[in-house]
Amino acid sequence: MGVTFSQFFPPSPTLTEANIGNQRGKVFLVTGGASGIGFEVCRILYQAGGKIYLAGRSEEKAEAAIKRIKSRSTASSGEILFLFLSLEDLSTIRPAAESFLSRESRLDILFNNAGVSNPPVGSLSAQGHELQMATNCLGPYLLTQLLLPILVQTAKTTASAAVRVVWTSSLAGEIVALGAPKDGIDVAKLSDPSQSQQEKYAITKIGNWYLAHGLASQVGEQGILSVTVHPGNVKSELIRHLPAAVSILASPLLYAAVYGAYTEIWAGLSSELSIKDGGNYIIPWGRIHPSPSPRHIASLASKEDGGTGEAKSFVEWCDAQTVGFR
């Protein structure tokens, strides 16, 4: 209960725009960077001198965001560019990755920040997947796999754990009252989900943790750190589909989006993290979760190691759904 309480009322952030240091020479890719937390991540990295690719499906919104970021920054800031990417349409992801790879020879941090929550019932992706699963898990998984070669290449030129992939989870994946399924994820039912929209959202947020853990196992030995974050309870477009009454009731517990960015920035840049932290879960505004639930720990472990193997099964399911778009 104490850890949950501290996620609603976290201690002050320790890594902000005031002390992240110069990021010149580094390349970042941020999905969903046109608004909310992603916008603030882009703004902070741009002010620190980094080169940022703001990935999203609307060039108009992205260019407006880039203009706002530049207007709020100094002349000595970095570089920021738009990259077209529609996570809910798997056919757009390989072209996006190829566009990025044609322009860059390195990628220091991939922020899988974009997501959708509680869209109208029946919302589907271009390939017919439940929209939240497509946007929050399948798209980011495919994008990450396509960018692994450049991440590995970059890791060869940097210190261990300097190259990172940050996945976005949520407190909804931890608390049954917020939608977390009591019995975990039934992979056999993912292609035909019958849960409430909130439960489907919570499943994708658990899934992001599983994907982070799976990637850590896949490339941790190559010096790439993969973690997931609960950014915090913040005001962003993610809650736009919630009923008005719910939004009003939640309002006193919501923070400005920049605080969620501090959590992601900590996960991406903190020197407190090392390669042994691969697969860990980061909580607001930048701390390793001290005591994940026994159920989640069991889910992350393989059956051979005494766990349920749920995380591995979920990664394999995502791989099977996206393999045709590699």
Collect all residues with Cβ–Cβ distance below 8 Å to 180 and sequence separation of at least 6: 172, 173, 174, 199, 202, 206
Based on the residue annotation, tell me whether 169 is a catalytic residue of this protein. Answer: yes
Say which of 46, 205, 259, 270 is annotated catalytic. Answer: 205
Say which of 201, 255, 259, 262 is annotated catalytic. Answer: 201
Say which of 86, 169, 226, 236 is annotated catalytic. Answer: 169
| Residues with catalytic function | 169, 201, 205
